[in-house]
Amino acid sequence: MEIARPGEVDFTRPHPVRVYDYWLGGKDNYAVDREVADRLAAAFPRMPQAARANRRFLQRAVPRLVRELGIRQFLDIGSGMPTRRNTHEVAQEIDPTARVVYVDNDPVVAAHSRALLAGDPRGATAFVHGDAADPAAVLADPGLRAVLDPDEPVGLMMLAVLPFLPEDVAVRSVRAFLDALPPGSIVTISHPTTDFAPEYGEFAERAARTPGLTYTPRSREQVEAMFAGAELLEPGLVPMLAWRPEQAGPRGSELSIHFLVGMGRRPANPTTAAP
Ligand SMILES: C[S@@+](CC[C@H](N)C(=O)[O-])C[C@H]1O[C@@H](n2cnc3c(N)ncnc32)[C@H](O)[C@@H]1O
């Protein structure tokens, strides 16, 4: 069955964001999506495991940002379908005044997000229908500007979104967002890799042949390059389950989840930072 292209609203064909939503246990999916999701999961059992592990990483990363690193406002790029325990729910559980702007370029995600992402009235949330490849337009959006304080550091979340961008665009995107945000802002990245899960390469190759769907796993060096100009925070760029492993939940087969994750802080003066 032909898959809908990302960005296309078509309820008769499976759509990548609804397939992902189904793997996460969400309700915003249809029979066509579930059928493809089940077939993909049968061929590549690591895909749904990885989707869930990625969401659990968000549940570990946001509390660290709020509790330990003093972050009170977030910009979540490529936020995906609103599922349970989105960034604002996790952050507002710790600080009800936390503010979150979600950004996604997919109209299906946009349609679901606007109503479902409302949070604690003491904080604030907004959804911006925008493109990670165009940071200037996203940052100029009035919805974003109404929610984010321009003088306070921001938690820039880029989870499982950079593999959708060409490598040079991904590197430029992270850099442009981070340079435009206040000093002390911190980018959190999760990115698939074939470095330590070679069987995932087969999935990636198949995905690469699907028209309209780009989802590129990258090497450690390539993902590291996305932190250029930022100070990598401990424990550095590591396999997802090695990031605060004591909080990572069930292990076993998930030990080889094919994601690298890390956090990088924007220095006070990014123009003098390398490279
Ligand atoms: C795999 S989902 C990840 C969702 C969420 N960040 C998470 O980690 O669970 C990727 C999301 O990125 C969005 N996306 C892909 N390319 C994008 C782009 N150029 N700009 C903004 N969002 C994009 C997709 O629409 C999708 O919702």
Query: Does ligand 1 lie within 6 Å of residue 169's CB atom?
Result: no
d(CA 200, CA 187): 25
Question: Is the residue at 115 inside a domain?
Answer: yes
Tell me: the pLDDT tens digits for 23-39?
998 888 889 889 988 98
**Looking at ligand 1, which residue's alpha carbon is closest to its atom 12?**
78
d(CA 256, CA 263): 20
Question: Are the C-beta atoms of residues 259 and 193 closer than 8 Å to each other?
Answer: yes
d(CA 243, CA 239): 7
Question: Is the residue at 182 inside a domain?
Answer: yes
Question: Is the residue at 30 inside a domain?
Answer: no
Question: Are the C-beta atoms of residues 54 and 160 closer than 8 Å to each other?
Answer: yes
Relative to beta strand 73-77, strand 259-265 is unpaired
Tell me: the pLDDT tens digits for 76-126?
999 998 887 899 999 999 999 999 999 999 988 998 898 777 888 999 999
**Looking at ligand 1, which residue's alpha carbon is closest to its atom 9?**
55
Number of domains making up the chain:
1
User: 186 is in which domain, residue-wise?
Assistant: 46-272
pLDDT, position 275: 43
* DSSP class per residue in 199-250: THHHHHHHHHTSTT-------HHHHHHTTTTSEEPTT-SEEGGGSSGGGS--
Question: Is the residue at 86 inside a domain?
Answer: yes
Our mutation pick for probing the ligand 1 site, out of 103, 104, 191, counting the most ligand atoms within 8 A of Cβ, is: 104
Going by C-beta distance under 8 Å and a sequence separation of 6 or more, which residues neighbour residue 42? none
Higher pLDDT, 212 or 172: 172
Instruction: Output the six-digit token pair for 165.
Output: 């961008």
pLDDT, position 145: 97
Question: Is the residue at 20 inside a domain?
Answer: no
Write the DSSP symbol of residue 267.
P
Question: Is the residue at 21 inside a domain?
Answer: no
Query: pTM higher than 0.85, yes or no?
Result: yes
Instruction: Output the six-digit token pair for 118.
Output: 């409302």
162 Cα: distance to centroid of ligand 1 (angstroms): 8
Question: Is the residue at 112 inside a domain?
Answer: yes
Going by C-beta distance under 8 Å and a sequence separation of 6 or more, which residues neighbour residue 227? 174, 187, 189, 237, 262, 264
Q: What is the CATH number of the domain that holds 232?
A: 3.40.50.150
Question: Is the residue at 15 inside a domain?
Answer: no
Checking if the pLDDT of 271 tops 50, the result is yes
